[in-house]
Amino acid sequence: MAPLSLLVVLFLSACGLARDVPDNVRELYDKIRKQGQCKDELATGFWSTDDGSNTFSYCGDRLQEYNIVYIQGTGGNLTNMDIDCDGAQGGPSDDGRCGSSTDTQSITSFQSTVKSYDRNISDLNANIHPYVVFGNEGTKRGWKTFDPESVGIEPLSIMAVVCGDKLIYGVWGDTNGDDGDHPLVGEASISLATACYGSEVSGNVGYDNNDVLFIAFPGRDAVPGAQGANWSATSYDDFEKSIEGQGDKLIARIDDDDSGAMSNGLSTSVFSSGTAAILQAPADGVVGAAEGFAASLVAQGGAAVIPTTTAEAELASYLGDDEAHVI
Ligand SMILES: *[C@@H]1O[C@H](CO)[C@@H](O)[C@H](O)[C@H]1NC(C)=O
Ligand SMILES: *[C@@H]1O[C@H](CO)[C@@H](O)[C@H](O)[C@H]1NC(C)=O
Ligand SMILES: *[C@@H]1O[C@H](CO)[C@@H](O)[C@H](O)[C@H]1NC(C)=O
Residue 163's closest CA among 279, 86, 81?
Answer: 81
What pLDDT sits at residue 228? 97
52: Cβ below 6 Å to ligand 1?
Answer: yes
Q: Identify the residue with better confidence: 94 or 2.
A: 94
Distance, CA of 222 to CA of 225 (rounded, Å): 9
Candidates 32, 51, 77, 80: which one to mutate for ligand 1, based on the most atoms within 8 Å of Cβ? 77
pLDDT for 151-188, tens place per residue? 999 999 999 999 989 999 999 999 999 999 999 999 99
49: Cβ below 6 Å to ligand 1?
Answer: no
- This prediction has a pTM of 0.76
Query: Tell me, what amino acid is at 284?
Result: D
Q: Identify the residue with better confidence: 8 or 111.
A: 111
DSSP 301: -
What pLDDT sits at residue 282? 37
What pLDDT sits at residue 313? 58
If you measure from the C-alpha of residue 92 to the centroid of ligand 2, how many angstroms do you get, rounded to a whole number?
A: 12
The average confidence (pLDDT) of the chain is 81
Q: Identify the residue with better confidence: 132 or 100.
A: 132
125: Cβ below 6 Å to ligand 3?
Answer: no
What pLDDT sits at residue 136? 98
Give the SS3 label for residue 49: coil
Helices (H), the chain: 4-17, 23-35, 63-66, 111-116, 190-197, 236-251, 269-280, 289-300, 310-320
Residue 164's closest CA among 11, 17, 10, 316?
Answer: 17
DSSP 186: -
- How many angstroms separate the Cα of 15 from the Cα of each of 1, 127, 168, 241, 280? 21, 19, 11, 9, 43
230: Cβ below 6 Å to ligand 3?
Answer: yes
Nearest bound ligand to CA 119?
2
DSSP string over 131-179: EEEEEE---STT---B-GGGGTPPTT-EEEEEETTEEEEEEEEEEE-SS
Q: What angle do CA 18, 93, 244 make, to 5 degrees?
A: 30
The mean-pLDDT minimum among 11-15, 41-45, 201-205 falls in 11-15
Q: How far is CA 38 from the centre of its chain?
A: 16
Q: Judge contact between 192 and 205, C-beta under 8 A.
A: no
Asked whether residue 293 carries a pLDDT value surpassing 60, the answer given is: no
Nearest-atom index, ligand 1, CA of 53: 13
Which residue's CA is the nearest one to ligand 3's atom 7? 233
Looking only at the bridges linking them, the beta strands covering 19-20 and 158-163 are unpaired
If you measure from the C-alpha of residue 117 to the centroid of ligand 1, how many angstroms do you get, rounded to a whole number?
A: 42
233: Cβ below 6 Å to ligand 3?
Answer: yes
Q: Identify the residue with better confidence: 59 or 310.
A: 59
What pLDDT sits at residue 290? 54
53: Cβ below 6 Å to ligand 3?
Answer: no
Which residue's CA is the nearest one to ligand 1's atom 7? 75
If you measure from the C-alpha of residue 63 to the centroid of ligand 3, how many angstroms do you get, rounded to a whole number?
A: 34
pLDDT for 238-283, tens place per residue? 999 999 999 999 999 998 654 433 333 333 444 444 443 443 333 3
Q: Identify the residue with better confidence: 135 or 255.
A: 135
Candidates 93, 230, 240: which one to mutate for ligand 3, based on the most atoms within 8 Å of Cβ? 230
If you measure from the C-alpha of residue 119 to the centroid of ligand 2, how many angstroms do you get, rounded to a whole number?
A: 9
Give the SS3 label for residue 269: helix
**Band (82; pLDDT cuts 50, 70, 90):** very high
Give the SS3 label for residue 287: coil
